[in-house]
Structure 1
């Protein structure tokens, strides 16, 4: 008999769109919008959504079968909603918050916010819910230190609330014709994460000394470029204990390589479900406990590992 897999208690990164949010996307005539179950985005080919992926009962059953204590779901930043004109984006974000906060356990919610006209008062209100774990922002809003400064009102509210930031790829530019469907996920998404990580490294932490921050998809593997960084006159410096790297879409080799640079304590499990599935790194029981339980709990709550 094979040994049972350990319970995956915390998944820091999923997407699940409640019915009201789907209806709001279907009501639109400009990007982003849905036609039946086909998603239309400005920079990507139309994408056929599997309706079962957003069936709350089916998704909840899958999480409970995995032994999930928390599954943190977010608005998908590649939709571009955070970058829409302020009133237009805020209306969709309001629908996201109202509908996502009704999801049952084990789901929890990453808040969203307009980056064209940041509203810290609105963010403060939603962060007051114990079902909201923190704020997700698109990497496209954190491209350099000046961009991080523009997000300061939102980041200040996060620090006051003691809740973390999740950095997620934002909208992709229009894909040149003839390229495969995976191009946005492998080129602009990865480069956005890499750039936002470097921007935080240069100009984020000094302004927000107590903010816990997680980059999805291992920050586009940005820390693995530390030797090139040093060769060009920069430095990785001391590993920041409040910067985290979420694992979605990566497996054992990439995770192991990241651990050799940033250590075990910075790695947190995220699946990006339904676009990817949970990964079992196979690096031992102690490592499993760290990435599935101890590290995510510290990211989300600040409690000691």
Structure 2
């Protein structure tokens, strides 16, 4: 496996058409995106040009770029009858993307359908992405357990990505990415430790955006949780680097070890780092871009 980016977004023609067919959020009016919890957003068509994005990925030296459904849209939280056309459109095109693209499957979390998810995984997806706010507590883990059981049975990984930011009221445009997205990832990190790992002891999981920097709260966790906070590092838990730079990545590496960090960009909303190892050296760059993604995706050493 060559260099990997585990976190990109690319809206294909079928998915765009499915969004434009809707009149309630989430929907596209031309290229203006409307969601339930955020201001209208002007989407750049060039960001979702498949040929151009493929060329960009190759120019970035990627052997694999994994596309994920944009969970902040709220597709996964729609009733099954509304979610299905969007999910089908996403899976239909994502399964046929040209190299170097691969993709994460997606699933509804309001009405769980493990059979439908299994059928999607049969198409060759790398694993399953779920929104972080669906896995933020014990109830969420109980509801999504059939999906996580499916991944464990197939030896496929889970990717946890921020979900929709709803009910915010007037806020700056950057607010969702800086507050609710981070809070969701923080909650999902500790919820997986408390409720996910005991039920799914073999599941490999990757948290977007360094899990909202939740791993840096280890000292506070020790102070509050005592003996419960101690134990060996979990070799099957990973965090990806999207939108963060050397200071945050170095801190995460100190907390978790370099073996837990994988390269993710969140492109087109952010770019790959200028320094692949985030200033931690060539060995770290190889771990983040190649060795660690291999373990995440295949379980191999």
Q: TM-score range, shorter-chain basis?
A: over 0.9
Q: Deviations over 1:80-103 (max 9, x none)?
A: 000001121122101110011121
1:19-54 per-residue CA deviation (whole Å, 9 max, x = no partner) reads 111011011000000011111111101011111000
231-240 vs 254-263, greater mean Cα deviation: 231-240
Alignment of 1:191-206 (within 5 A): 191-206=183-198
1:172-203 CA-to-partner distances (Å, cap 9, x unmatched) read 023322x2110000000000000011100111
Higher helix share: 2
- Label 1:231 to 1:182 Cα distance change in 2 as closer, same or farther (>3 A): same
- Alignment check: 8 A CA contact 2:18 2:85 kept: no
- What's the counterpart of residue 148 of structure 2? 155
TM-score (norm 2): 0.96
Partner of 1:245: 239
Asked whether 1:285 is paired with 2:278, we answer no
**C-alpha displacement at 1:135, in angstroms?**
0.2
Runs of 5+ in structure 1 lacking a partner? 1-6
1:139 corresponds to 2:139: no
Equivalent residue pairs, number: 296
Q: Which residue of 2 aligns with 1:118?
A: 112
| 1:52-71 aligned within 5 A | 52-71=46-65
Taking the TM superposition and a 5 Å limit, the aligned residue runs for 1:37-186 are 37-130=31-124, 132-177=125-170, 179-186=171-178
Local SS of the residue matching 1:67: coil
TM-score, normalised on structure 1?
0.95
From 10, 13, 20, the counterpart of 1:26: 20
CA distance 1:271–1:8, shift in 2 (3 Å): farther
RMSD of equivalent CA atoms: 1.2
Does residue 1:213 correspond to 2:205, yes or no? yes
CA distance in 1, matches of 2:251, 2:84: 39
